[in-house]
């Protein structure tokens, strides 16, 4: 008998039919003799509906009250799923975040899990109940409802798996697993059987959006084996673990991110500390900078280019324009949203040379211009024109996987 | 400085505009120097929407999970109201039933309040916050969410007022107070300035539906002064208290109840204990019987008539038909939904004779046939044809109040 944690996102429980489908998956797992803890997000549109209600009344509401409002979403989905499990003839108990023992920091809307006291969950399992837990939420030391922020339900699931030493934590999504490239765009993309935590982390930050990063970090820290799989098909998914079986591949995937913009500050005076001053302006506004490229200076001037999330792009330009030009004497600030970041990720890179060369060759063959490059131990990213993005992914994928 | 508890029902917070209106009433009360605790029900249609979601998935869901689902309704309304109060520039804290200290029995969907530990509410008041509490809900000794059943939010408000020794408990509704008759039907109906708990209790059971009975009983027990008033107008409402100032009226109101049905069991053998057996059949099904009339027996047979709630009428007939006819040898069971109960209520009755006569005279003048009569110390009820109901209320009202 194993203890299995299963997590279902909002689209998996969007309506009555899907809730029943999830109940079927859960009870099938239970009927095989496993203890099952299910973590659920709010139903598809519930969160949007609640935010709309808030915006009508007070767009600047306190974060404590926002958490109180949003946490109602999972309360609805957990009770409905428990009812669906009852309908199939099994016993279920739904538990809110605080009932399930999620003690968090008091940073409302972005709380961090401090401890999971899983005693109530264990009591329910001991009574042979399937336990349905509200993801995304917890309780602060002040007894207030908190939420974990974006992707919080994945983290909730992994935290329970860690606290209870679960044998497996299954994350059900609308894709069948982790692919070598987006299967909707690249016909030859294949599903990976296994992947390491580190590769998964790089892929998540690169726009693959399969798993929330915090949850992968936590799984890595506690050695929790994850499986990413679809709630719609019965196909086995992708296992995320420390040392996956090597599939004799140099890289595990090609990812595309078009939600970025490039900012170039032209003609920055070549004094020490100017780059630091510039980036600290941005970090004060909590604007994250990704790839950075600095030109070799000449005539006492240099150009600095970097990428930011598209959603923060205009704000970053506003922050910099006045300061860089009027205070520091730069010539101009350029802004370009028509860019894409293409990345390859693979633990195999560490021990194999020539991976970067192979990637650049693929792009050259496809006549795609590389505008910026960034590398880490298991990742190589290039910035190219947005219009070339899909062509680039295909070219690189074919080069490595054909 | 006073402590005032204000309760708003679902229609008072049905949309953003109404929530803002409630926030205005609450902050006006606070701005006058009072401590304010607000108790709120779920928004207008939320409860219906949640029940619809449940019915799609599992009409026979456990009562524990039903409570979990429904309690999400007040969670939404309290956070929205707190946000609206913030919008007006005041500090507010919303609290769920369990956070507000509502300890209840574990009878899910019909839980009873056992204790209110108001320490968290007091802490928030001490910090000068307006406290917004979820009505209708609490927590069992097992740490599970419970709900109080129909009209539970009124009871929540009175329970807080009792636990905190509040100076006043205001129940905001969609009417301006308690009237001598339904003002939509009787033009000359007038609003009462004051009324006793006992009269209010009789009126509530008689279809006036202004206040939930459990809440009035609790207010009476703890001596909490209630005010029933409208959330839409600024007019003073009706005060419910132990010894109201007498307004020199024999009766305080005329009420109509058309949600009843009459059942007549004809030709019941005249043996002792048969009536007891019959009514115990109904009480086992938790079907409440109201007015009872038993004919004088002849030929060893008698007829027994009584009224039940219309919603339970058909069920009552099914329970009785087989048993009374085949087992006990009664002749037949008749069923009539076209009846109405008209009642007059007044503490003045106790010391004045002739009240009943005056009522019957009014009905006689209006040529309305009385089919059954029932009296208590402060109430007289008659059963008449439903078609005569409004005419009867007017005739009686004019007799007593003109």
Per-residue pLDDT of A204-224, as tens digits, reads: 766 666 788 889 999 999 999
Digit-by-digit pLDDT tens for chain B (402 residues) are 799 999 999 999 999 999 999 999 999 999 999 999 999 999 988 999 999 999 999 999 999 999 999 999 999 999 999 999 999 999 999 999 999 999 999 999 999 999 999 999 999 999 999 999 999 999 999 999 999 987 899 999 999 999 999 999 999 988 889 988 888 888 888 899 999 999 888 887 666 667 888 899 999 999 999 999 999 888 999 999 998 776 667 788 899 999 999 999 998 887 777 878 888 888 888 888 888 887 776 777 888 899 999 999 999 999 898 888 888 888 999 999 999 999 999 877 777 777 888 899 999 999 999 988 888 878 889 999 999 999 999 999 999 887
A107: region left, alpha or beta (phi > 0 left; psi from -120 to 50 alpha): beta
Q: Whole-angstrom Cα distance, residue A202 to residue A348?
A: 14
CA distances B68 to B75, B144, B291, Å, are: 11, 8, 37
The confidence score (pLDDT) of residue A374 equals: 85
Cβ proximity of B399 and B391 under 8 Å: no
Partner-chain residue, chosen from B65, B78, B120, that has the shortest CB–CB distance to A79: B65
The pLDDT value recorded for residue A20 is 98
**What integer pLDDT is reported at residue B101 of this predicted model?**
98
What are A157-209's pLDDT values in tens digits? 999 999 999 999 999 988 889 988 888 888 888 899 999 999 888 887 666 66
Domain assignment of residue A113, yes or no? yes
Backbone angles phi, psi at B85, to 5 degrees: -65, -40
What average pLDDT score do residues A58-67 get?
A: 97
A249 C-beta neighbours (distance < 10 Å), count: 15
Q: Among the listed ranges A68-72, A278-282, B306-310, B331-335, which one has the minimum average pLDDT value?
A: A278-282
Residue B69 CB contacts under 8 Å (≥ 6 apart), including other chains: A75, A76, A79, A80, A83, B50, B53, B54, B61
CA angle at A260 for the pair A50 and A253, rounded to the nearest 5°: 100
Of chain A residues 45-64, which have a CB less than 8 A from chain B? 50, 53-54, 56-58, 60-62, 64
Contact criterion met (CB < 8 Å) for A96 and B19? no
Q: A352 — contact with chain B (CB < 8 Å)?
A: no
Question: Is residue A146 a part of any domain in this protein?
Answer: yes
Cβ contact B71–A68 (<8 Å): no
Would you call B57 and A92 a contact, using CB atoms and an 8 Å cutoff?
A: no
Neighbours of B385 (CB within 10 A): 16
pLDDT at A286: 85
Q: Of B56, B61, B145, which is closest to A16 when you measure between CB atoms?
A: B56
In angstroms, the separation between the Cα of residue A62 and the nearest Cα of chain B is 7
Q: What is the ipTM of this complex?
A: 0.82
* Eight-class DSSP state of A334: E
- Which residue has 């027990």 as its token pair? B221
- If you count DSSP H runs as helices and E runs as strands, how many of each does chain A have, helices first? 11, 20
Report CB contact under 8 Å: B75, A75: yes
Q: Give residue B389's pLDDT.
A: 95
In a domain, A37, yes or no: yes
Short-list B239, B243, B219, CA closest to B228: B239
Smallest Cβ distance to B76: which of A69, A80, A144? A69
Report the distance separating Cα B143 and Cα B32, nearest Å: 38
Is A303 or B133 the better-scoring residue by pLDDT? B133
The residue in chain A having the minimum alpha-carbon distance to the alpha carbon of residue B49 is A76
Residue A193 domain-assigned?
Answer: no
What pLDDT is recorded for position A246? Answer: 64
Mean of the pLDDT values across residues A260-273? Answer: 87
Element at A283 (helix H, strand E): helix A274-284
Residues of B in contact with A44 (CB under 8 A): none
State how far residue A10 is from chain B, nearest Cα, in angstroms.
15
pLDDT beyond 70 at A78? yes
Q: Is residue B307 part of a domain?
A: no
Beta bridge partners of B383: B341, B372
Q: How far is CA A231 from the centre of its chain?
A: 18
Query: For position A71, which CATH number holds?
Result: 3.40.1160.10
Residue B390 covered by a domain: no
How far is Cα B127 from Cα B46, in angstroms, rounded to an integer?
32
Token look-up 């009789």 returns B202
On the question of pLDDT at A140 being above 70, the answer is yes
Residue A247 is predicted with a pLDDT of: 62
Please choose, from the candidates A140, A8, A144, the residue with its C-alpha nearest in 3D space to the C-alpha of residue A74. Answer: A8
Q: Do A65 and B94 touch (CB under 8 A)?
A: yes
pLDDT of residue B246: 64
How far off is chain B from A384, nearest CA to CA, in Å? 45
Distance, in Å, from the CA atom of B113 to the CA atom of B153, rounded to the nearest integer, reads 11
Q: Which residue has the higher pLDDT, A272 or B388?
A: B388
Per-position b or e across B50-75, b if 16+ CB within 10 A of its CB: beebbebbbeebbebbbbbbbbbbbb
* pTM for this prediction: 0.83
Neighbours of B302 (CB within 10 A): 20
Mean pLDDT of A365-385: 89
CA A156 to chain centre: 14
pLDDT of residue A148: 95
* Smallest CA–CA distance from A18 into chain B, residue: B57
In a domain, B70, yes or no: yes
Size of interface A-B (CB pairs under 8 A): 113
Give me the number of domains chain A comprises: 1
Domain residue limits at A44 = 3-173
Contact assignment for B79 to A87 by CB distance below 8 Å? no
Question: Between residues 82 and 121 of chain A, which touch chain B (CB distance below 8 Å)?
Answer: 82-84, 86-87, 92-94, 96, 99, 120
Rounded CA separation A73/A46 (Å):
6
pLDDT band at A118 (very low <50, low <70, confident <90, very high): very high
- Residues from chain A contacting residue B79 (CB–CB below 8 Å): 54, 65-66, 68-69, 72
A58–B93: do the CB atoms touch at under 8 Å?
Answer: no
Mean pLDDT over each residue of chain A, to the nearest integer: 91
pLDDT grade, residue A295 (50/70/90)?
confident
Residue B116 within any structural domain of the chain:
yes
Single out the residue of A356, A327, A195 nearest to residue A268, CA to CA: A327
Residue count (chain A)? 402
In this predicted model, what pLDDT tens digit does every residue of A85-117 receive, in sequence order? 999 999 999 999 999 999 999 999 999 999 999
CA–centroid distance for B6 within its chain: 17
Confidence (pLDDT) at B143:
97
The reported pLDDT for the residue numbered A248 is 65
Best residue of B65, B81, B91 to probe chain A, by most A CBs closer than 10 Å: B65
Residue of chain A whose Cα is closest to the Cα of B56: A16
**Does residue A94 contact residue A132 with C-beta atoms inside 8 Å?**
yes
């Amino acid at each position: 008998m194993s203890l299995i944690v299963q997590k279902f996102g909002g689209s998996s429980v969007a309506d009555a039919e899907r809730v029943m489908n999830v109940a079927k998956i859960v009870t099938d797992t239970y009927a095989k003799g496993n203890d099952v803890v299910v973590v659920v997000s709010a139903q598809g549109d519930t969160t949007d509906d609640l935010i709309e209600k808030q915006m009508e009344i007070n767009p600047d509401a306190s974060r404590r009250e926002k958490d109180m409002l949003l946490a109602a979403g999972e309360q609805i989905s957990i009770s409905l799923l428990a009812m669906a499990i009852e309908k199939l003839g099994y016993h279920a108990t739904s538990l809110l975040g605080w009932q399930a023992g999620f003690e968090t920091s008091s940073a409302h809307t972005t709380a961090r899990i401090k401890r999971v006291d899983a005693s109530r969950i264990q009591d329910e399992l001991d009574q042979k109940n399937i336990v349905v837990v509200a993801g995304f939420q917890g309780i602060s030391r002040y007894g207030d409802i908190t939420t974990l922020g974006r992707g919080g339900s994945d983290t909730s699931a992994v935290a329970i798996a860690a606290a209870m030493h679960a044998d497996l934590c299954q994350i059900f999504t609308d894709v069948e697993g982790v692919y070598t490239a987006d299967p909707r765009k690249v016909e030859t993309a294949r599903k990976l059987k296994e992947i390491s935590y580190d590769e998964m982390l790089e892929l998540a930050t690169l726009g693959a959006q399969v798993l929330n990063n915090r949850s992968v970090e936590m799984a890595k820290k506690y050695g929790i084996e994850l499986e990413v799989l679809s709630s719609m098909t019965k196909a086995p998914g992708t296992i995320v673990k420390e040392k996956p079986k090597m599939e004799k591949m140099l890289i595990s995937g090609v990812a595309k991110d078009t939600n970025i913009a490039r900012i170039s500050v032209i003609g920055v005076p070549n004094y020490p500390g100017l780059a630091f001053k510039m980036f600290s302006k941005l970090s004060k506004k909590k604007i994250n900078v990704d790839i950075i490229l600095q030109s070799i200076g000449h005539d006492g001037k240099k150009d600095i280019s970097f990428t930011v999330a598209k959603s923060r792009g205009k704000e970053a330009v506003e922050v910099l324009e006045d300061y860089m030009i009027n205070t520091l004497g730069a010539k101009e600030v350029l802004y370009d949203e028509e860019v894409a970041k293409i990345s390859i990720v693979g633990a195999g890179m560490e021990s194999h040379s020539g991976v970067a060369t192979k990637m650049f060759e693929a792009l050259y063959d496809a006549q795609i211009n590389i505008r910026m490059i960034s590398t880490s131990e298991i990742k190589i990213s290039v910035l190219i024109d947005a219009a070339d993005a899909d062509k680039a992914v295909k070219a690189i994928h074919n080069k490595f996987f054909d």
